[in-house]
Homo-oligomer: A and B are copies of this chain.
Amino acid sequence: MSTVKVSNGDRVSSIEVEDGVSLLEAVSKIKDMHIDASCGGKGTCGKCKVRVLKGDLSEPSKSEIKYLSKEDLKNGYRLSCMVPVTGNIDVLVDSINEKSQILTSHKGFTGKLNPVVQKKHLHLPKPSLKDQRSDLTRLLESISLDAVTVSLSLGQKLPALIRDTDYSVTAVFSSEQLLDVEPGNTESLNYSIAVDIGTTTIAAYLLNSGTGETLDTISGLNSQKIFGADVISRIEYSMQGDGKLELLQKKIVTQISDLCIFLAERNNISRENIYSVMIAGNTTMLHLFYGVDPSGIAVAPFIPGFLRSMNIPSSDFKNFPINCIIYSIPSISGYVGADIVAGILATGIDEKEELSLLIDIGTNGEIVFGNKDKLYCCSTAAGPAFEGAHISCGLGGISGAVDSASIDNSLIKFSTIGDEKAIG
């Protein structure tokens, strides 16, 4: 074991790691310490440059000689993905520019609301010698649920609850599950969180499930991006074994957990009243979220572990801060994911007579064309061309990125995000 001491100008942290892990990986294990590494640690993007202040290191690799100037090398700069930790190291990393500009506004869904988790206040008919239905049957028949699974804890609390409330309770249910029963009328307290896991950015929306209203929005860069900028880089990283897949999963689950807590607290909403978290994302992002090996997606014939909608209790996720059901939207194939399905449903192009074109340019880009009779879709790695993955120029939507350019009297004019000095 060796100690890696990391400073980013603002803060110094230390971590103990096994000898042999890369400096990039060591730093990535420290909360909120990031190194940009869009090729996922393969030494092909040259972006994970750090300055080693102290420590005996291996000789620079070919890749470092290619990406770093002689001046850089002389001053202790190294590509962190190429440097194995073999003793105590002090390292200086850039204070990461995480001020990203992510568009999260939307026109809003105007269709018929059919939330996955519903609430219904019930005045249950009281039992009599002519109505000897059991407590559970009495309740389920009042909300027209039949073939549902009921948890042991719910079965245990039901008899006292309905008597103590004089048969006035609120059922919390989905089409297949009776999730909870609450005393009195709590219909107005029904919230859900919708999350879009983009390869580069992540956005979370707090929704009133009863009205469909979007109450609040938050977004950030996908915390997995230090392990590769695109889906192939992340799949390759996950395939290195030794807990890499679990690390990717932990990163995204922790980030989503943090967003959920933040949204609840900023809106003074009890976490107990958030009954569902709905996840959309491309097929690989969903695999990484669930910790399911995505390696089949990377090579022909491109087979995912799953495509269907998932429905998992949050208790199955380590340390998830909200007791709810985590749903995900189904995907169509390895490269046509739940994000596109969500887009099709939100725009309703699958119900229209006229032909429509839906274009989603993200780090992965998809185009859907067609109408109610048939929809065609194709996809490709789109964003990397703009965002600089695997190539020497370009970057994501962070401060300093050029976000507009025009030619005016033979002069090139441009603006940057945050009006900062252009980088990338």
**Could you say which of A77-85, A181-189, A297-305 contacts chain B?**
A297-305
Contact with B along A389-418 (1 / 0, CB 8 A): 000000000000000000000000000000
Q: Which of A292, A302, A312 has the most CB of B within 10 A?
A: A292
Report the stretch among A50-58, A127-135, A263-271, A377-385 that lies at the interface: A127-135
Could you tell me the distance in whole angstroms from the C-beta of A252 to the nearest C-beta in chain B?
Answer: 14
In-complex Cβ contact of A159 among B127, B134, B305 (8 A): B305
A150 within 8 A of B: yes
Residue pair A135, B296 in contact (C-beta under 8 Å):
yes
Contact of A155 among B134, B135, B295, B306 (CB under 8 A): B306
Known A132-B302, A301-B127, A303-B134; judge A311-B152 contact (CB<8 A). Answer: no
Query: Which residues from chain B contact A127 at a C-beta distance below 8 Å?
Result: 296, 301, 303
Contact of A304 among B135, B304, B317 (CB under 8 A): B135
Partner of A292, one of B137, B155, B302, B306: B155
Q: Min CB distance, A282 to chain B, in Å?
A: 14
Give the residue name and chain of the B residue nearest to A293 (CB).
Answer: B159
Q: Please indicate the chain B residues that have their CB under 8 angstroms from the CB of A153 in the complex.
A: 316
A136-B308 in contact given A159-B292, A292-B155, A316-B151 (Cβ < 8 Å):
yes
The yes or no answer to A228 lying at the interface (CB within 8 A) is no
Instruction: Pick the contact of A158: B151, B160, B305 (CB < 8 A).
Output: B305
* A136–B306 touching, CB < 8 Å: yes
Q: A128-B301, A132-B301, A333-B132 are in contact. Are A155 and B290 (CB under 8 A)?
A: yes
Q: What's the minimum C-beta distance from A218 to chain B, rounded to whole angstroms?
A: 25
- Give complex CA distance A137, B307 in Å: 8
> B residues within 8 A CB of A128?
301
A134-165 CB mask vs B (1 if < 8 Å, else 0) is 11110000000000011111011011100100
Q: Which residues of B contact A135 (CB under 8 A)?
A: 296, 303-306
Q: Tally chain A residues at the interface, Cβ within 8 Å.
A: 44
Q: Which residues between 87 and 137 of chain A lie within 8 Å of chain B, taking CB atoms?
A: 127-129, 131-137
**CB of A73 within 8 Å of the partner chain:** no
Most B CB within 10 A of own CB, among A128, A156, A163, A307: A156
A272 to B14, CA, bound (A): 43
A176 to B134, CA, bound (A): 24
A305 touching B136, Cβ below 8 Å = yes
Quick check: is A232 within 8 A (CB to CB) of the other chain? no
**Min CB gap A148→B, angstroms:** 9
A321 contacts the other chain (Cβ, under 8 Å)? no
Please measure, in the bound complex, the distance between the C-alpha atom of A303 and the C-alpha atom of B333, giving whole angstroms.
50
CB distance from A117 to the nearest CB of B (A): 16
A46 proximal to B (CB < 8 A): no
**A296 CA / B135 CA spacing, docked (Å):** 9
Establish whether residues A149 and B311, one from each chain, have CB atoms under 8 Å apart when the complex forms.
yes
Q: What residues of chain B lie closer than 8 Å to A291, measured between beta carbons?
A: 152, 156
9 interchain residue pairs of minimum CB distance = A136-B306, A159-B305, A152-B316, A159-B293, A134-B307, A134-B304, A127-B303, A129-B301, A135-B305
Tell me the A residues contacting B by CB distance below 8 Å.
127-129, 131-137, 149-153, 155-156, 158-160, 163, 176, 290-293, 295-296, 300-308, 310-312, 316-317, 333-334
Instruction: Pull 11 A–B residue pairs with CB atoms less than 8 Å apart, ordered by A.
Output: A128-B301, A132-B302, A133-B303, A136-B306, A137-B307, A149-B176, A150-B306, A155-B292, A156-B291, A159-B296, A163-B296
